[in-house]
Structure 1
Amino acid sequence: MVQIIVVIAILLLLVKPAGTYLYHVFSNEPNKTDRIFGGVERGIFKLSGLHKREGMSWKTYALSFLSTNIVLVAFGYIVLRLQAGLPLNPNGITGMEQTLTFNTVISFITNTNLQHYSGETGLSYFSQMAVITMLMFTSAASGFSVAVAFVRGITGRASLGNFFEDFVKAHTRVFLPLALLITLVLVGLQVPQTLKPSIQLTTLEGQVQQIATGPVASLESIKHLGTNGGGFFGANSAHPFENPSPLTNVIEILSMWTLPAALPYMYGLFAKNKRQGWGIFAAMMTLFVLLLSLNYYAESSGNPAINSMGIDASQGSMEGKEVRFGIPQSSLFTTVTTAATTGSVNNMHDTQTPLGSITPLALMMLNNVFGGKGVGLVNMLMYAILAVFLCGLMVGRTPEFLGRKIEAREMKLIAVAILIHPLIILVPTAASFLTDLGQGAISNSGYHGLTQVLYEYVSAAANNGSGFEGLADNNTFWNMMTGVVMLLGRYVSIIALLAVAGSLLRKQPVPETIGTFRTDNGLFTGILIATVLIIGALTFLPVVVLGPIAEHLTLR
């Protein structure tokens, strides 16, 4: 418990300074960071022809975001297909199969990082750096830019901003300097960073063994800072080269958690009402602690089936967990990686107890508990607008949020963003059980098999990328199905919510009166939490009952 509390306490200390720094980066107001990064950025803007960088409409912003992503996808696809003939391939890795290539580039551009391949055997060093690491930076910067544009829109700034300016600033002032710092720290803590080929060792039995290595530390840093999650190795952060000690485990947890947790405070500064930001943060943290407690309790209690056999399970369920982390840091990592939609794993989620597996599932289903780079804040603000609308209906008043009326257009767009999430999870899950191609990948029968399939689509739709890993998913069916789900899960909601921001930005502010429903107090935070839980339960509780809950009752 102390391990968990200390990490959460460190995070709480980092939220305010990190959120303040992010505000200075994206407020477009003169500040001290201009002296450090301004010269480099002006050079980039001059080279790319971005001289004026005027504010964009929501349509132009969305189009700029999409066109940039399309170019990056095309580049990544070509490199992965041709990697056998490209440099920095000392281990002779062949080109990637076409459907797997499609799945991989879509996975990394959408900040999902769902891996149907094993990095040490499927990618060359050049591909790891020029495609995987590059997309980790650019997808995170894209998500950050959209989140900042949404915040500008709902807080009444002059415009949503300029996507390309936000995109460059996210790189130069946030991700590149932080990634460099974390890389150096990880190298100092024995995480490899080399371009040498795999190490060949002869075992005591006289057999030759290949030990994969490579530029691991640089990928690990942005993997967590950008809430990406794709590992250099197939075992991800359970691999001792990626995550060798409890200290690196804590560093990786804080790396993927700090920036998403700081965004609500940044939002409060944009809104000129810090209580607004702390209210959103409190809602996120409440949901986080509740689900962390469930996972820790379930894993500490052990497997009911093993307990009933009289076997000593006093240390809890250690199946699929690394001894160097134990249950506390495994539970915390599991909760953070799904709350922040990172997808990195330091233990096998497939081997968690049925009740314990509800935590990562629920966090991805809710899709707004901290979230990835900007996703969590935007989704939580979406639910805040919905909560205001529902409260307005109940008391017979026109709902208002941050001084702007919430009307039919905004609610239709929010309905699209809310409904697309369960649609692209539940429909593909059902379809997979109706085909031999889908059922053939399931390694467990019964309730656990259902959870395997459900988890795969929940992870893809939430742009998380973690997996139960008991699913044989590297085939044409699963590569294409999850690829489409990742595309819809990323872009439909982003475009809809940018449209909401653009709509609110055009409205004239409404003066605050004594009858205005306040959104910066404890009451509203409670209403927001209830709204999230009720909508989540209405959409996903039946399938959770058919999966992990039914499995738990069967084990008992």
Structure 2
Amino acid sequence: MGYAILQFIVIFALLLALAIPLGRYLYVVFFKETSKLDRFFLPIEKIIYRASGIKNLEETGWKKYSFAFLSVNAVLLGISYLILRLQKYLPLNSAKIDNMEPTLTFNTVVSFMTNTNLQHYSGETGLSILSQMIFVTMMMFTSAASGLAIAMAIIRALSKKGKTIGNFYQDFIRANVRVLLPLSVIVTLVLVALGVPQTFASSATVTTLEGKVQTLALGPVASLESIKHLGTNGGGFFGVNSAHPFENPNPLTCVIEILSMWCIPAAIPFTYGLAVKNRKQGWVLFATMFAIFLVMLSVVYSAEQAGNPMLNKLGFSSSQGSMEGKEVRFGIPLSSLFTTVTTAATTGTVNNMHDTLTPIGGLVPLSQMMLNNVFGGDGVGFVNMLMYAMLAVFLAGLMVGRTPEFLGRKIEPREMKLIVIALLLHPFIILGPSAVAFMTHLGTDAISNPGFHGISQVIYEYTSAAANNGSGFEGLGDNTPFWNISTGLVMLLGRYLSIIAMLAVAGSLVQKQPVPETVGTFRTDNVTFGVILIGTVLVIGALTFFPVLVLGPIAEFLTIR
């Protein structure tokens, strides 16, 4: 256990060493009108603007910002759909992979555009190399850049006064050109140096030690792995994702992938602190998310290290922990940390099979996706935490009998209605479709493990879709029209309605005159507010989802202990 704690501490230290300077870099990229970066990046951006026909880079209000965001995403969805439906006739398909089935194509393009990367297909057999490159990698950049742009627009609204929140096209292109592309190149080179393949060859034929011939799938794996994690995407080049030795060969690559998917979500609170000119508030939000994260990590590590309860009752040794579904090269510590980070940062990539976690271990990824704000993906998770922060301020204001204020702006009924709608939408699009799935054989036929674990499989699928995560309890047979269409709709609602609601909140707040701070102002940059914020997150999450968790992982644990 001491060795595991040491691993965690080193990785946490590396995260802070990356997140703080990266937070400053994001501030320069999105909040400085001019910077030294312009000399290198501005010529590239001008070429993109010219090729795209974008001429007006003036800041806009939230409605035009939202329209630009939705328009870009809609065009990318259309292009992606055509690629998957026609991949049989396109080049770089030496494996002769057929066109994707229509409902699966719908699910897949929605999945990648919403930054979910829920995969109802196996990567090496479902997509050609061209589709992996043009569709998957392109969407991983654009969906992550969209989320990052939204977060920066909302932070901008809280840090200024006026009627505008920025220009989506400028934010979107800067997120790609100045943030995701440079970081991806660096991580790709590191992964290639550590043994991750990067080739146009679709396969390699080798002779095993037993003298048998085996064909191994290959492709541009390293480049996809880099943006897969940096963009908190999660879609794997191979079906078993980052448990595959070509995607994640050794513990060092595992640590690099953990830091890659965690660094941008962890950096955004520091960017926020610089933008609103209150670094303490940035630290409070970071500490709040990190405190919840530590609790979750402790639970999953303890549960997996304790071993499988059923095997323990039969007298089998659990000295190595519950290693079912895990890679020996990672062990319990890195498997537990990867599980916690990938569902905290809503990445969805996995280096072990979540379906084989112990019941309490499986409770952790479910809970983090249900909360949907413990760091979260590139931007959207932080936006969700801001919603909870405003709700906490509102509740505290009610308790002390004064108008709630956040960063000098009054939180009034209009903002609270939008925030409550966004917060209530999340459980509705999880629990509603889950109930429908349990009431019809179209849903229950996919369950591979009847009983309490079957309930967990269904709930996990819709929770992963709603939280834009993409990981799954892979025992669920989800490649059917029912699951493809239903999870596709959940992904669309989970991504876009909450984003539009928060952009509307940002548009309302940016127009308000700042209220001077007084002795009676409720401070949001101290430990007291952090505790209130944690309480708000956990109480709302517990009240909403605790009953269904009792029916799933908790009941399963009580049954087999």
Place the TM-score, normalised by the shorter chain, in its bin: over 0.9
Give, in whole Å, the separation in 1 of the partners of 2:250 and 2:210. 29
In the alignment, which residue of structure 2 is the partner of 1:285? Answer: 290
In the alignment, which residue of structure 1 is the partner of 2:237? Answer: 232
Deviation at 1:36, TM superposition (A): 2.0
- The residue identity in structure 2 corresponding to 1:100 is L
In the alignment, which residue of structure 1 is the partner of 2:518? Answer: 513
In the alignment, which residue of structure 2 is the partner of 1:57? Answer: 61
In the alignment, which residue of structure 1 is the partner of 2:97? Answer: 93
1:422 partnered with 2:427 = yes
Q: 2:196 aligns with which of 187, 191, 195?
A: 191
In the alignment, which residue of structure 2 is the partner of 1:135? Answer: 139
Report which stretch shifted further, 10-19 or 279-288: 10-19
In the alignment, which residue of structure 1 is the partner of 2:115? Answer: 111
1:295 partnered with 2:295 = no
Give, in whole Å, the separation in 2 of the partners of 1:21 and 1:264. 12
Deviation at 1:52, TM superposition (A): 3.7
In the alignment, which residue of structure 2 is the partner of 1:489? Answer: 494
> What SS does the aligned partner of 2:214 have?
strand
1:457-515 Cα offsets, whole Å, 9 max, x none, are 00000000000100000010000010000000000000000000000011111111111
> What SS does the aligned partner of 2:215 have?
strand
- The residue identity in structure 1 corresponding to 2:136 is I
In the alignment, which residue of structure 1 is the partner of 2:205? Answer: 200
> What SS does the aligned partner of 2:58 have?
coil
Equivalent residues in 2 for 1:274-353, closer than 5 Å = 274-353=279-358
**Contact 2:161 2:511 (C-alpha < 8 Å) held by counterparts:** no
In the alignment, which residue of structure 2 is the partner of 1:180? Answer: 185
Deviation at 1:12, TM superposition (A): 1.4
- The residue identity in structure 1 corresponding to 2:126 is G
> What SS does the aligned partner of 1:201 have?
strand
Per the alignment, do residues 204 and 187 of structure 1 end up closer, same or farther by CA in structure 2, a change over 3 Å counting? closer
Q: 2:30 aligns with which of 13, 18, 26?
A: 26
> What SS does the aligned partner of 1:71 have?
helix
> What SS does the aligned partner of 1:544 have?
helix
**Contact 2:376 2:382 (C-alpha < 8 Å) held by counterparts:** yes
Give, in whole Å, the separation in 2 of the partners of 1:444 and 1:227. 29
In the alignment, which residue of structure 2 is the partner of 1:460? Answer: 465
Give, in whole Å, the separation in 2 of the partners of 1:330 and 1:157. 45
Number of residue pairs aligned between Structure 1 and Structure 2: 556
Give, in whole Å, the separation in 1 of the partners of 2:211 and 2:318. 38
Give, in whole Å, the separation in 2 of the partners of 1:180 and 1:14. 16
Deviation at 1:358, TM superposition (A): 0.9
- The residue identity in structure 2 corresponding to 1:65 is F
- The residue identity in structure 2 corresponding to 1:469 is E
1:550 partnered with 2:555 = yes
Q: 1:443 aligns with which of 443, 448, 455?
A: 448
Deviation at 1:22, TM superposition (A): 0.3
Give, in whole Å, the separation in 2 of the partners of 1:310 and 1:339. 34
Deviation at 1:13, TM superposition (A): 1.7
Give, in whole Å, the separation in 2 of the partners of 1:174 and 1:157. 26
1:68-113 Cα offsets, whole Å, 9 max, x none, are 0000000000010000000011111110000000000000000000
Provide structure 1 residue ranges, at least 5 long, that are not aligned to the other structure.
Answer: none
Give, in whole Å, the separation in 1 of the partners of 2:345 and 2:357. 19
Give, in whole Å, the separation in 1 of the partners of 2:225 and 2:302. 29
CA RMSD, Structure 1 to Structure 2 (Å): 1.0
> What SS does the aligned partner of 1:200 have?
strand
Give, in whole Å, the separation in 2 of the partners of 1:287 and 1:254. 18
> What SS does the aligned partner of 1:510 have?
coil
> What SS does the aligned partner of 1:506 have?
coil
- The residue identity in structure 1 corresponding to 2:239 is G
Provide structure 2 residue ranges, at least 5 long, that are not aligned to the other structure.
Answer: none
In the alignment, which residue of structure 1 is the partner of 2:396? Answer: 391
In the alignment, which residue of structure 1 is the partner of 2:252? Answer: 247
In the alignment, which residue of structure 2 is the partner of 1:2? Answer: 6
Deviation at 1:45, TM superposition (A): 2.1
> What SS does the aligned partner of 2:59 have?
coil
- The residue identity in structure 2 corresponding to 1:147 is A
- The residue identity in structure 2 corresponding to 1:418 is L
**Contact 2:234 2:470 (C-alpha < 8 Å) held by counterparts:** yes
Give, in whole Å, the separation in 2 of the partners of 1:225 and 1:37. 20
Deviation at 1:29, TM superposition (A): 2.4
Q: 1:410 aligns with which of 415, 421, 429?
A: 415
**Contact 2:362 2:553 (C-alpha < 8 Å) held by counterparts:** yes
In the alignment, which residue of structure 1 is the partner of 2:276? Answer: 271
Deviation at 1:206, TM superposition (A): 6.4
**Contact 2:58 2:167 (C-alpha < 8 Å) held by counterparts:** yes
Q: 1:522 aligns with which of 527, 539, 548?
A: 527
In the alignment, which residue of structure 1 is the partner of 2:475? Answer: 470
In the alignment, which residue of structure 2 is the partner of 1:534? Answer: 539
1:304-352 Cα offsets, whole Å, 9 max, x none, are 1111111111111001000000000000000000000000000000000
- The residue identity in structure 2 corresponding to 1:104 is T
Give, in whole Å, the separation in 2 of the partners of 1:119 and 1:43. 33
1:144 partnered with 2:148 = yes
- The residue identity in structure 2 corresponding to 1:26 is F
Q: 2:226 aligns with which of 218, 221, 225?
A: 221
Give, in whole Å, the separation in 1 of the partners of 2:161 and 2:168. 15
1:260-304 Cα offsets, whole Å, 9 max, x none, are 000000000110000010000010000000000000000000111
- The residue identity in structure 2 corresponding to 1:537 is A
> What SS does the aligned partner of 2:510 have?
helix
